[in-house]
Amino acid sequence: MEVENTLAKKLDTAGQNASYDAYCRNLLINRQILARILKTCVKEFHDCPIKDIEEKYLDEKPKVHEVAVHRDESAEFIDGIGKEDVGMKEKPITYDIYFRVLSPKDDEMIQMIINVESQKDFYPGYPLVKRGIYYCSRMISSQYGTETSDSGYEKLKKVYSIWICFNPPKYRKNTITAYSMERAEPCWQCDREGRKL
């Protein structure tokens, strides 16, 4: 008698009944898969055993965390796999998977916000990198009023947006490309009046 685990059942059900996007989300929300994604893509987890990521750093269950549906209004929240972060004059953003994790850093635990997106088309007709940057920017700016207020920028949580692109061209198969915002060394020096030296 063959015993199926929960992941195998999800794969079978998702493959038969769900749309492609729902199928991908159903796979990616699995704790075992999320732990491996975090270990590979989030530098804070590179040295952590997979089991620790699953048991210590992911929430009790990998779920989409509560996000204000309309950030310009009071506390209306939704729960579920797809999340919207909407400003009054902006088009809604629906996050595939949005959650918080704890991460070990300098003998203390910090909290980070993670977004995982599944992308069916490698070339969707717009720049994916710019969309990823936009998603990270929204995850940071939406913390105002919830994580921080006024100029308490030190309380902002670090964010990651991880995009899993299916059907890439041959030269991009089995690769990871990372983009980050880091301090760069100055290209030139200026005098006290701001004139280039």
pTM for this entry? 0.72
Angstrom distance (rounded) from CA 113 to CA 101:
6
- Compute the distance between CA of residue 178 and CA of residue 112 in angstroms, rounded to an integer: 17
Asked if residues 172 and 128 have their Cβ atoms less than 8 Å apart, the reply is no
Residues 47-94 have pLDDT tens digits of 999 999 988 888 655 444 334 323 543 333 334 344 555 555 555 667
Q: Is residue 151 part of a domain?
A: yes
Angstrom distance (rounded) from CA 64 to CA 152: 26
Q: How far apart are CA 146 and CA 25, in angstroms?
A: 26
Count of domains observed in the chain = 1
Q: Is residue 119 domain-resident? A: yes
Q: Is residue 71 part of a domain?
A: yes
What type of residue is 28?
A: L
130 occurs within a structural domain: yes
For tokens 């910090």, the residue is 110
Least Cα distance to 32 among 53, 3, 4 occurs for 53
Top-confidence range, 87-101, 105-119, 171-185:
171-185
Range(s) of the domain holding residue 89: 6-171
| Closest C-alpha to 31, from 103, 91, 99 | 99
